[in-house]
A = this chain, B = another copy of it.
């Protein structure tokens, strides 16, 4: 990055959250939700698969919808910093005797070769890739702003924001530790179980966002679960508008709108009516630029403030709401 860095190799790194591949039993309904309502561009559609992106994403897609019998998450994908990082990561995983699968270029349209593996402990299917096409949008939705791939439409989803995944209490420390040590995720905020040892929830990032990836203990002991995938809107007020509009459709509200103390962002959790996966409509939050950020530990008595600073409250452990998850695919 700087003139003196030549000759050094920082090792492979994750650049950012890339895409999620959601299985859905009802593609048409999911497309209506993500496309017509949330305003995402349907970049490509082929057979039972559709590729979508937000209006500020130049890459080919951040969401893949695959019509299939089970509403599972097929993959959580991350983009790496450099072309060689895909292979460097793969080599390291093999060194650790983690089973990997090479996903050939084009398996997701527009994407190059990826390495696929299950996160040790949690079993979430992660994929790492570097090459991704950056197609222009059709003229009828193209933007005059070169930093937009298309015009703002619908409820204004501009990009993917983060994944929140769950695994069992027995496996979460292994999984959370592994992604921090091996993928470069840094803890930004977290809470522990009463034993003060087991992770209850951990918000982690490789970028200045408070979280690109959150890991939360699953109350029912299930591994490889999706709690939600978040999509980013420009303003807190956009979340209110989304709530207003989605409330008037047959979209199930899970929770919100409200503001998390953790991350200080506005949330609205709804269920994609096609797949049942939980989707967070998300805006705001603070950014962490400090190189010596001290992870914020939430003690039990303050934790409710962290979950819900204001708005429709997140009831942790005491309510049927907000506990549903959907499983992920295997290797």
A252 at the interface (CB under 8 A from B): no
A135 → chain B, closest Cβ, in Å? 14
Interface size on A, residues (CB 8 A): 81
Contact of A146 among B5, B244, B249, B296 (CB under 8 A): B296
Residue among B147, B236, B311 making CB contact with A235, cutoff 8 Å: B236
For A17, what are the chain B residues with a Cβ–Cβ distance below 8 Å? 289
Chain B neighbourhood of A147, CB < 8 A: 189, 210, 263-264, 286, 296
Interface string of A245-269 (1 = CB under 8 A from B): 1011100010011110101101010
CB of A183 to closest CB in B, whole Å: 7
Closest to A268 in B: B310
Residue of B nearest to A81 (CB): B291
B3 touches A182 (CB 8 A): yes
Contact with B along A207-221 (1 / 0, CB 8 A): 111100000000000
- In the complex the two chains form, what is the Cα distance from A59 to B290 in whole Å? 9
What is the CB-to-nearest-CB distance from A63 to chain B, in angstroms, rounded to a whole number?
16
Report chain B residues within 8 Å CB of A266: 240
Q: Which of A272-331 contact B (CB under 8 A)?
A: 284, 286-287, 289-291, 296, 302, 305, 309-313
A158 contacts across to B, CB distance below 8 A: 286
Q: Is the CB of B9 within 8 A of A2?
A: no
Assess whether A69 is interfacial by the CB under 8 Å rule.
no
1/0 contact trace for A125-144 toward B, CB 8 Å? 00000000000000000011
- When distances are taken between beta carbons in the complex, the residues of chain B under 8 Å from A253 are 310
Q: Are B184 and A245 in contact (CB under 8 A)?
A: no
Which residues of chain B come closer than 8 Å to A5, judged between CB atoms? 10-11
Residues from chain B with a CB closer than 8 A to the CB of A49 are none
Residues A247 and B11 in contact, CB atoms below 8 Å apart: no
The interface residues of chain B lying within 8 Å CB-to-CB of A182 are 2-3
Partner pick for A257 among B16, B88, B289, B310, CB 8 A cutoff: B310
| Chain B CB within 8 A of A1 CB | yes
CB-based contact A145/B264 at 8 Å: yes
Task: Please state if A1 and B16 are interface contacts (CB–CB under 8 Å).
Answer: no
The CB with the most chain B CB atoms within 10 A, among A12, A189, A290, is that of: A290
| A92, B4: Cβ atoms closer than 8 Å | yes
What residues of chain B lie closer than 8 Å to A244, measured between beta carbons? 152, 259, 309-310
Report Cα–Cα, A237/B234, bound state, in Å.
11
21 CB < 8 A contacts A-B: A1-B184, A2-B10, A3-B181, A4-B12, A4-B88, A5-B11, A15-B289, A145-B248, A146-B296, A147-B286, A148-B264, A152-B241, A152-B248, A234-B284, A235-B236, A240-B266, A243-B259, A243-B310, A244-B309, A247-B309, A311-B312
